[in-house]
Every structure is written in structure tokens, then in C-alpha cells.
Amino acid sequence: MRERLSGNEAAAIAMKQINPDVVAAFPITPSTEIPQYFSTFVSNGTVDTEFVAVESEHSAMSACIGAQAAGGRAMTATSANGLSLMWEMIYIASSLRLPIVMSLVNRAVSGPLNIHNDHSDAMGVRDAGWIMTFSENNQEAYDNLVMAHRIAEHKDVLLPLMVCQDGFITSHSIENIELIEDEKVKEFVGTYNPEHYLLNAKEPIAIGPLDLQGYLFEHKTQQAIAMRNAKKVILDVAKDFEKMTGRKYGFFEEYKMEDAEVVVVCMNSTAGTAKYTADKLREQGIKAGVLKIRVFRPFPAEEVAKALSHAKAIAVLDKADSLNAAGGALFEDVTSGMFVSKVQVPTINYVYGIGGRDTTSKEIESVYQDLMEIAKTGDIGNPYRYLGVRRCK
């Protein structure tokens, strides 16, 4: 079915087709429309979900944890400060191995207050034990949500999963999108049948007990193993999704990478601008390519290193600053993966788009121009750079 939808509408329709047992949410811009649209499906009887309108985002994640621990399938949506207020419960959800699915509409975290897009919210919880997928456009946001439960609920994974999309840029922009028939989604996602849950009278259990020196280390190691297991599951689910829809997904998308010499690595909607710029440069005979990261956690370090191994110069774009004086989170992961895999290509970092500042094709072209100079000379100069920022002291 071909429709014209915003990213938030697409996410809400995916949730409708999944028909979770519980959705708990508290409104925050720019994700507010997702539970708002979904609440209409609840009120008109399209779904039989229990919708819980809570008093805060902390309570929203708490309710999802309770519902999932009880044996239900739970979903939510939030952004920025809302995710920050969930912070304690974000860690608890993953440590309890509860496959909750969340739509995260990326927005700058205060302060100062800003309601526009960057990735500081997602980067703030990148080590919290959640699987994290990123979406270039509305179609990918929808598709990632349809695949999410199959990944999160797999017996070898059992981890929560967040699907990220850029606030306002995709969440509120209307695009053509191919929806899957309701029955096909229902069959693809399947029924949630947890092995252990609180409401199983035949197996009384405790959830979240005190976990001291004797066991916590092993439990955290089990989470790490589950995250590694997720890599295979993500690809297996993507293969089944491709059979159903014809749309192919992997850990990342390689755009004109076969012979690329200068490469931009980025996530979410910026990939569209980078692809457009690469096309323009190709017309000039410049071998430009784009590596768009889709799966950020688990991070496909070895696979990314292999994809970049033939390049002559690389720029990693981070839409959040780690404020560590040593580059953004994506840059750190990419360069770490390259180092471990013994891939030596000159690589620089650009922090860009903070607080929703527009990043134009002209600016992306300037990145490629810098890369061409680096490829020629081998001199990276300062590897930690900013794109589109006014001069600061």
C-alpha cells in the first residue's frame, strides 16, 4: 500500500499493526504525535492495546518494564529530555532483559533548551544495553519498527531496542511510503511468548532483585553476549523482511562505495544530503562514497572496517559532541574498529548540526574537498573538526 505519511505517522501505524499489549507514554516534542496518533487507534478499537497515559517519562518506561516483565509486549516513544528522565529505567529495562521497543525521535538534550534535531539523546544512552537502529527516512523508520520485535524478542537476544529518526526532519516531513498489509505484519512479528514472566502461576519468580558482587559481573557479561548475538539475528530478520517486501537492510548501506576514494560516514537523515553531494561530485569525476550506519548498537566494527578499507580518506560525521576533546561517539567507534582490524586510512571527525542547525550539500561538499586534499598529501591536520559552526573561542 502506497501512502504519504510523516515519520511520526509511519511509526504510529507500525505500532498499530504490531498491536502491542501495552503502550505507556508521556508527550514530548517532537515525538508527541506518535502516542497521539496511536491513542486514536486505541479509542476507535482498531487495536486492543492498554494505553497508559502516565505523569512522566520515567513512569512511562517504568510501566513498560512492569508490563513486559508480566509477560506482555510493551512499546513507547520519546525524545531528548524525556529519554533523560527515563535514564534510570533505561538501564533497568536492559539489565532485566526485557525486549521493550521504543521509537526515539532524536532531539537536542537541554540545556540550553532546544527542541530541534541532533543525536545527543541517543548518544547519552549508547552504552545502556539497548539495541539501536537509525533511520534515514520515514520508510526506514517504519521498516525498522516492524523488524524490531523479531530482533529484540529472539531467545538469544532478549534486549530492548530503540528505533531512531531525526526530529522534525523526518518525524514531521511527509514522504511517500510503502506500507505492508496488516495481516502480513501480524504474521511477520508473531506472538510474544516469553519463557519466564511474573504472571506465570506455575513458575513464581522475582524480577530485579539485589545483585551484588557474587553475580552482577556475570549478568552484565550475559548482556554483552546477547548484544553480540544480536548481530546475527538482525541480519536473519532482515533477510526475512526482504523476502516479504523486497526491501534490503544490513548493518549499514554502502552508497557508491565500490571504487570510492573519499568517504563520508554518517547516520539518519544526513545520509540523504551526503548521497546527493556524492552524486554531484561523481559527475565531476570525483570518486565519492557514503557509508550510512543503520545499526549503531551492536556496533558492526569489523564489517565497517572492511567496507572502508579501500578508501583513501574518510570523514565521520557526528551529530552530537562527546565533549571529551577526542571526537564524537561514532568517530570513536569507527576508528576503534579500523584500528583493531588493522585498517589504516586517514580519518577525520566533524561534529555538525547541533541543535538542529541545517547542514547543506555545500557544507558536505567542503568535507569531501578536505578529504581529497588529505588523500593527496596524507596529512590529516586536526582530526577533530566542526562543520557549520561560527568561530568560537
CATH number at residue 358: 3.40.50.920
Q: pTM here?
A: 0.97
190 plus 278 within the same structural domain: no
Domain count, the chain: 2
276 plus 165 within the same structural domain: no
Q: For 337-367, give the DSSP string.
A: HHHHTT----EEEEEE-GGG----HHHHHHH
Query: How much is the CA Rg of the chain, to the nearest whole Å?
Result: 21
- Assigned domain for 292 exists: yes
pLDDT tens over the chain, length 393 residues: 899 999 999 999 999 999 999 999 999 999 999 999 999 999 999 999 999 999 999 999 999 999 999 999 999 999 999 999 999 999 999 999 999 999 999 999 998 999 999 999 999 999 999 999 999 999 999 999 999 999 999 999 999 999 999 999 999 999 999 999 999 999 999 999 999 999 999 999 999 999 999 999 999 999 999 999 999 999 999 999 999 999 999 999 999 999 999 999 999 999 999 999 999 999 999 999 999 999 999 999 999 999 999 999 999 999 999 999 999 999 999 999 999 999 999 999 999 999 999 999 999 999 999 999 999 999 999 999 999 999 876
221 plus 308 within the same structural domain: no
- Assigned domain for 200 exists: yes
Cell of 199: 504472571
- Assigned domain for 313 exists: yes
Residue 153, CA distances (Å) to 41, 147, 156 in order: 24, 11, 8
346 plus 367 within the same structural domain: yes
380 plus 270 within the same structural domain: yes
- Assigned domain for 393 exists: no
- Assigned domain for 345 exists: yes
Domain that holds residue 76: 2-245
